[in-house]
Amino acid sequence: MELGKKYNERTLRRMRQFYILFKDEKWSPLRTELTWTHFRELLALKNMNKINYYIKITEEQNLSVRELRQKIKSNEYERLDDKTKEMLIKKEEPKTEDLIKNPILIKNTYNTDNITESLLKKLILENIDDLLKQLGVGFTYVGSEYPIKIGDRYYFIDILLYNIKDNKYVVLELKNTEVKKEHFGQIKAYMNYVDKNLKTPNQNPTLGIILCKKDNRFIFEYVTNDNVIDREYALI
């Protein structure tokens, strides 16, 4: 009664929960920059590994409470693979590509199940910022249908990105089918072109991402996949 309505039973229980969760944690200066409203969103998660992940990305990406809430709602932590989660628990630094979510969520604003590759690309480009955020830190948009010339023929990269943090180009190819072995040959050719014609000596080798309707672990085991990863997409 003396301190006001904000100090009700519910708030006091949250403060107690906050203490129980974090009393043994080592705190970085950045972590203290999160607001109490941020932590109220995090306290509902209860799982400390999950909470630490969202604290980390909130710090790195300077997330507002609304943005943090959206990431939690989209089950971003759950969309990381088990290997990456284990690295985060052990406080090892995962590669940028390890943090790319699976599946990638695409807003289906046209409300149709007949998704061609052309329509998939249109949906992505209409909300390109959302895609870049799902991929992780440092991704920027370069262009779509990016033209390259191999021999006397022109080819077109579906979406060309650049990762500022890793200092490398990223070739993104879209497939509205299960991933096939020929998709790896196609994207490797595009990546080789970028490495020979766009990449400068101080830049790192190009990363390739195949965004497909369904992955195929068996195909992935038997193809040359250096710097190539595949991720499924899910329409929401």
pLDDT at 28: 61
Q: What is the mean pLDDT of each run of 10 residues along the chain (236 residues)?
A: 81 89 70 84 92 92 93 96 94 92 95 91 96 93 97 96 97 96 94 97 97 87 82 95
Please write the tens of the pLDDT for every residue from 135-177.
998 999 999 999 999 999 999 999 999 999 999 999 999 999 9
DSSP assignment of the chain, as one string?
A: --S-TTSSHHHHHHHHHHHHHHTTPPPPTTGGGS-HHHHHHHHTT--HHHHHHHHHHHHHHT--HHHHHHHHHTTTGGGS-HHHHHHHHTT----GGGGS-SSEEE--TT--S---HHHHHHHHHHTHHHHHHHH-TTEEEEEEEEEEEETTEEEEEEEEEEETTTTEEEEEEEEEEE--HHHHHHHHHHHHHHHHHT--TTSPPPEEEEEEEE--HHHHHTS--TTEEEEEEEE-
The pLDDT, as a whole number, for residue 60 is 86
Whole-model pTM: value is: 0.86
Q: Note the pLDDT of residue 30.
A: 47
Instruction: Return the pLDDT at 32.
Output: 62
pLDDT of residue 97: 92
Complete domains list, the chain, with CATH: 9-73 (no CATH), 98-235 (3.40.1350.10)
